Amino acid sequence: MTHEEYRNTSLESKEQAQRILFSEYFNYVYTIVFSKLRSCASREDIEECVSDSFADIYIYYDESREWGGDITGFIGTVARRKASDVYRRLTNKKISTFSVDDDEAKQLEAPDNTEEIVDKKDMRSKLLHCVELLGEPDSVIIMQKYFFMRNSKEISEIVSMTPEAVRMRCSRALVKLRKKLTEMNISL
């Protein structure tokens, strides 16, 4: 959506302009917020952050100003900043220090499976990167189906497709994803 389209629609009906903006940019904002908060936030926190991002967009976007072209940059910036604020709020924990004697230190040693844990995290980040490379709407469909365990009907409402189209896109996206993972020498 361009600035002019938003301004013209907003002059007719502010609510209609906001609905169009929401439906057109929901997946974009959701992807930005999810990629920032997936490691520390619950599904509800992510959805709340998306809602807060749109609230900020509606509040701070000045349609009377002369902007050039597409408003995607503004929307992406607001979403990234809101997600960063939530990320800091969720991960900001006070760290307390205490002294440890030798006997206690032996009990605090890293578990034997530390290398396995690190490998899994590395694998997860590579997998998420490959999913992001699929592009819209395939990446959203895969994320919703396999990370949020949503069914085709729920996903169809998010990506504005029929459930049948979602299932077809999902199967094709999985083929692409397997190919990308094979290229990276990753087998699941």
Full-model pTM? 0.48
Query: According to the model, what pLDDT value does residue 180 have?
Result: 83
Query: According to the model, what pLDDT value does residue 98 have?
Result: 52
In the chain, how many domains are there? 2
Return the higher-pLDDT residue of 70 and 20.
Answer: 20
In this structure, the answer to whether residues 63 and 143 fall within a common structural domain is no
Domain that holds residue 145: 113-183
93-148 confidence digits (pLDDT tens): 544 445 555 555 555 555 566 677 777 777 777 777 778 888 888 888 888 888 78
CATH of the domain at 143: 1.10.10.10
In this structure, the answer to whether residues 56 and 136 fall within a common structural domain is no
With 0-12 / 13-18 / 19 or more C-beta atoms within 10 angstroms meaning exposed / middle / buried, residue 5 is: middle
Query: According to the model, what pLDDT value does residue 83 have?
Result: 93
Domain-located, residue 140: yes
Domain-located, residue 178: yes
In this structure, the answer to whether residues 86 and 121 fall within a common structural domain is no
Return the higher-pLDDT residue of 55 and 188.
Answer: 55
Query: According to the model, what pLDDT value does residue 72 have?
Result: 83
In this structure, the answer to whether residues 40 and 119 fall within a common structural domain is no
* 148-173 average pLDDT score: 87
* 161-181 average pLDDT score: 87
Domain-located, residue 130: yes
* 6-25 average pLDDT score: 84
In this structure, the answer to whether residues 31 and 79 fall within a common structural domain is yes
Domain-located, residue 188: no
Which residues 6+ apart lie within 8 Å of 4 measured at CB?
none
Domain-located, residue 97: no
Q: Tell me which amino acid residue 167 is.
A: R
50-94 confidence digits (pLDDT tens): 999 999 988 887 766 666 677 888 888 999 999 999 998 888 754
Domain-located, residue 169: yes
Give the Cα separation of 76 and 39 in Å (integer). 20
3-state secondary structure of 70: strand
Of the pLDDT bands very low, low, confident and very high (cuts 50, 70, 90), residue 30 is very high
Query: According to the model, what pLDDT value does residue 104 have?
Result: 57
Decide if 65 contacts 112 (C-beta within 8 A).
no
In this structure, the answer to whether residues 42 and 121 fall within a common structural domain is no
In this structure, the answer to whether residues 82 and 124 fall within a common structural domain is no
Of the pLDDT bands very low, low, confident and very high (cuts 50, 70, 90), residue 31 is very high
Return the higher-pLDDT residue of 7 and 100.
Answer: 7
CATH of the domain at 15: 1.10.1740.10
Residue pointed to by tokens 């997998």: 127
